[in-house]
Amino acid sequence: MESNLGKLHQLFDQNFLEYTSYVIKERAIPDINDGFKPVQRRLLQTLHNMDDGRFHKVANVVGETMKLHPHGDASIFAALVNLANKGFLIDRQGNFGNILTGDQASAARYIECRLSPLAREVLFNKDLTEYDESYDGRMMEPLTLPAKIPVLLLQGADGIAVGMATKILPHNFCELLEAQKKILRDEDFEIYPDFQQKGLVDVSQYDHGNGKIRCRARIEELNEKTIVIREIPFTTTTESLIESVERAAKAGKIKIHSIDDYTAEEVEIEIKLARGIYAKDTITALYAFTDCEVPISPNLTLIRDKTPMTASVEEVIRYNTEKLHRDLTRELEIDLNRQLEKLHARRLEQIFIEERLYKDIEEETSVKAITDRIFTSLAPFADQLIRAVSDEDVDRLLEIRIKRISRYDINRQFKEIRAIEKEIETIRRHLTDTVGFTISYIDSLLERYGKFYPRQTEIAEFTEVSARNIAVANLNVGYHRESGFLGHTIKAEDEKNDLSVPCSEYDRLLLIFSNGLYKIMPVAEKLFVGHELAWLGKVDKDLIFNMIYRDGAENLVYGKRFNMPKFILEKEYRLFDEHPRSRILLLLTGEDKFARISLMPSSRAKANAIEVTFSDYLIKGPAAKGKRVSNRVVRKVVESAGRATVAGKQNLVLPGLQAPESVPPEDNKDDDE
């Protein structure tokens, strides 16, 4: 039983690994060599096989591609539309959808496509391509295409495999090729993303293609009551952006009167603002609360040597540049060999005809004798030939017709041979400086195609937009003491005991209870906090608290100052030691605060009241004990010089206290900690 179970586990493990490997290498992750996933490579190879310069029905292209691609036509059609809309390798005719609005393409039977001139020039070379059998063995398909431009970084890629994913951002055509030239010259370079949707991008955290970027829409202030969005961020459409604006408006984060989409060939979304709202503030809110700013986290995962790996942008473009150098060198070598063979054949033919060697075989009666005679006749001219004469050369000479010999033009033949020799000289000169030849090749691509691909997205550095700082205070958190509930759906009891605070959903609230307990919590709809809430306000790091409290264990009153405490959300802290009789007597916020403390009358005392100036107290931590106010019994504590209120924070003034029955004798020491 255990043996069978082990075999079953082994079977599952093996099959899962095979499936994982297939999905990673054969479907979802692009190859570093040509930048394509298998479906894209098969699609482009099919277009190359069908290419006659004219447009083809997309439905026909999809059908032909299915001879190489073992999956359904839907994935092929989606890949074709995606490649065509990137605007580099496939020319379109018909409705291929709209990347700005998110509109879908028409059915495959209504639209047409063909390879672009750029694709014809940089993607295909039979001499450099390694082929393998297709899934059914009927055709041959390329393992990778010999791409002469860094397609992977040019077009970008998205893919989700098993246990990994890739998100490679597109880059600018001209900047990529200029970076390749700098690599060949051993110069430093920088390369950053560029998007068809235009907009603005902050690349300060790009981290070589594996960090984070922020994309923003380009927003114009038409006038103080009208905003127009002209460009949108990458990964968004006008439809998704409008939906995000409407959601923010519905949630009360921004206030607009109307939003209209006039997008055609260019983006134009017009936003009319509500009464009392102005464009400058709303633009900031759009970046904070809508898809007018989106963060993107790229992940440059690719296939290299049949193995998935994560690379940097610099590594990818250096690899592609080295590959381009190797491929162009191989092309030169192949072309040189072809030209040499062509020159050899022309010179052989020239000697055979001009020297009338064909007359030497007229008396021969057998094939062997004829062949031997030709070898013998050509021997004196060996120094004029590129290589030794072969049997194939002799067969080619014997196939020359008498009609061609009779019309042989010596001058024309001389010019053609001279042209071939010049071509060979040029190729050999290029082979002596293959780096310079590669740079010249890149320059020729830039000259012919660079003008069609200017940078679309502006690189900028954004200031951080804090949603918490610009959020509209559209909520009013109230406290109902009788029920003990707090929240933005709770209405305060009355104006006299009002502890309500206007705030936004991003704010944090500080709750201080009369027994010295305090905690910080997020804005809630409705929450039970008890009946002893003494102070309620928003967290403000600059806030100063002035407090007088009674220590129940000692029956003495202390005063202290402290600033906004540091906290862990919803964790309970204490301002003084817990005791059933310990209570806050007065709590004020802000600077320049004063208190009047009424003491139990005494015949020996000169005065029965004390004036406390809180600015005389040092600012300590929230848990510090503070400074003893008096050894005498305190009857009542009130704020002097008027009641003070800080916006968004409520000052607590508790009613006077009854004197305790007895007071322990204490010295007049300073207990400030």
Q: Please compute, for residue 636, the number of CA atoms within 13 A of its CA located in the half-sphere on the CB side.
A: 9
User: Which 3 state secondary structure label does DSSP give 383?
Assistant: helix
For residue 503, the cross-strand partners are 475
3-state secondary structure of 179: helix
Tokens describing residue 141:
């398909």
Supply 294's token pair: 């989106």
Alpha helix stretches (DSSP H) within 25-103: 38-50, 58-65, 73-86
Name residue 71's amino acid: H
CA distances from 2 to 11, 12, 14 (A): 14, 15, 18
210-213: long-range pairs with CB below 8 Å, 24+? 210/298, 210/299, 210/300, 210/310, 210/312, 211/297, 211/298, 212/295, 212/296, 212/297, 212/298, 213/169, 213/295, 213/296, 213/298
CA distance 150 to 181: 12
Cβ–Cβ under 8 Å, residues 195 and 86: no
* Dist. CA 208–CA 153, nearest whole Å: 12
Instruction: Report the alpha-carbon distance of residue 580 to residue 583 in Å, rounded.
Output: 8
* Torsion region of 469: left, alpha or beta (phi above 0 gives left; psi -120 to 50 gives alpha): alpha
Question: Of these residues, 19, 22, 110, 262, which one is catalytic?
Answer: 110
Look up 110 and say whether it is catalytic: yes
> Does residue 518 contact residue 504 with C-beta atoms inside 8 Å?
no
C-alpha span between 336 and 386 (Å, rounded): 12
Sequence-ordered list of residues with C-beta below 8 angstroms from that of 185, at least 6 positions apart, any chain:
439
- Greatest C-alpha distance within the chain: 159
Spatial CA neighbour of 96 closest among 108, 66, 374, 638: 108
DSSP codes joined into one string, 442-496: HHHHHHHHGGG----SEE--PPP--HHHH----EEEEEETTTTEEETTPPPS-ST
- Whole-number Cα distances in Å, 344 to 54, 220, 372, 522: 38, 69, 20, 87
CA gap 233, 100 in Å, rounded = 10
Which residue has 């609360």 as its token pair? 289
Q: In b/e form, how buried is each residue of 461-493, taking b as 16+ CB within 10 angstroms?
A: eeeebeeeebbbeebebbbbbeeebbbbebebb
- Residues assigned a catalytic role: 110
